[in-house]
Amino acid sequence: MFKFTILAKDKHSKARVGKLSTPHGTITTPCFIPVGTQASVKGLSPSDLKEIGSQIVLSNTYHLFLRPGEDIISEMGELGKFMGWDGPTMTDSGGFQVFSLGVAQKKIKISNQAGRKISKFSKSVFLNPADTQLLLPSVTKTRQDKQLKKLRQAKINEDGVWFYSQIDGKKLWFDAAVSVAIQEKVGADLIVAFDDHESPLWDYETTKVSLDRTNRWAIESLKSQKRKDQLMYGVIHGGPFEDLRKSSASFTDKHFPAIAVGGAYTSKEILYQTLDWIVPLVSGEKPRHLLGIAEIDDLFEGVERGMDFFDCVAPTRRARHGSIYIHPKSGGTKDNKFSLQITNSQFSTDKNPLDPECLCSTCQNFTRGYIHHLFRTHELLVYRLATYHNVFFITHLMEEMRSKIEEGSFPEFKRMWINE
């Protein structure tokens, strides 16, 4: 039912092309997965995604649990049919949102076995206030933002976590069995074991407590799984500590048929170092997913280190705020994050497409000046046009990477983009 096959390998790195067969279709890797948090990729329809070339959509267990509820999704024919998408789907465990959204940017407290209180999340290069507000619209956040700030702190113990819904403040319980039961009712092809999330700024002992908890919850997730038509990923954690990351990699590889890499990082260098530590310790025959990471330089670095799947809200979130991806030939660099800010006044009379190198329908039919106007007037069309471009851009970049790996020219392709 699930089969991962390596089709090509780069001779100068760990980059590879593969394919993962699922009950709803085959996915070719490396692959970017657009995020449809609440069974919808913001601004795009399933037919848009098909036209773009997206192969799979990821939704969030936590949000689907709150609204509309897993029972309704199951009754409606499970996730794919519910959202009108006939390709493969994936759900995460809900763990990250339980911890982050459940406290609305306040510090979560956890108790270790000695009863000491520890703050859960701290500043990270990959975490910003917007990441904790995935439910909020792009134009106005005032009312819901005020509601989020009233939430009580989540309470974590060795079995799971009590948290408070950001919708109505209701006290709710999440543990491994609950997470897996929700994911089974939602019915995605790929699911994720329930995991704890360490802060990148924790000390060694605190991080080890969190990792031990993740390992226990991982085993409980496997024990709770009843369906055989879902592939479960285990998640590697361990913060910035080499021995913890390596032990987590070995543990996850031993127990799970698919590998995910989780956590937060104080720098991109630590992220890349983490991948260097763990990839040699997991089977080359299993799919590998770098959770929540998909900026362009990170895609190149992740693929070079042997990662197969990537997901992130960055392309869609950037689009809603006027941050538009551009090719190096159009001025994209690592320093400007391969993007331009289309809301800047300099683009008001620009007759060029968003990216002259892009073949998406937005770039083939509309000018920078027009898109700039739509943002300035808050026309709803702009969110679709900008999002279409950004998701197309990343999706076709991954397609190019696959082609370059097969041709044996991936290192040169990366140098052209990253300019190293």
311 is catalytic: yes
CA distances from 359 to 329, 392, 396, 410 (A): 14, 9, 10, 22
Q: Are strands 31-34 and 89-91 parallel, antiparallel or unpaired?
A: unpaired
> How far from each other are the two terminal CA atoms of the chain, in whole angstroms?
41
**Which three-class secondary structure state does DSSP give residue 310?**
strand
Which distant-in-sequence residues (6+ apart) come within 8 Å of 369 by Cβ? 347, 348, 349, 350, 351
92 is catalytic: yes
DSSP string, 345-374: GGGTT--S-S-TT--SHHHHH--HHHHHHH
Instruction: Name the active-site residue from 10, 131, 298, 311.
Output: 311
Measure the CA–CA gap between 69 and 71, rounded to whole angstroms.
6
Instruction: Name the active-site residue from 10, 48, 92, 355.
Output: 92
CA distances from 173 to 58, 159, 163 (A): 23, 10, 6
∠ CA 417-419-420, nearest 5°, is 125
What tokens were used for 316? 């869609």
Look up tokens 């390992």; give the residue.
215
Residues with catalytic function: 92, 311
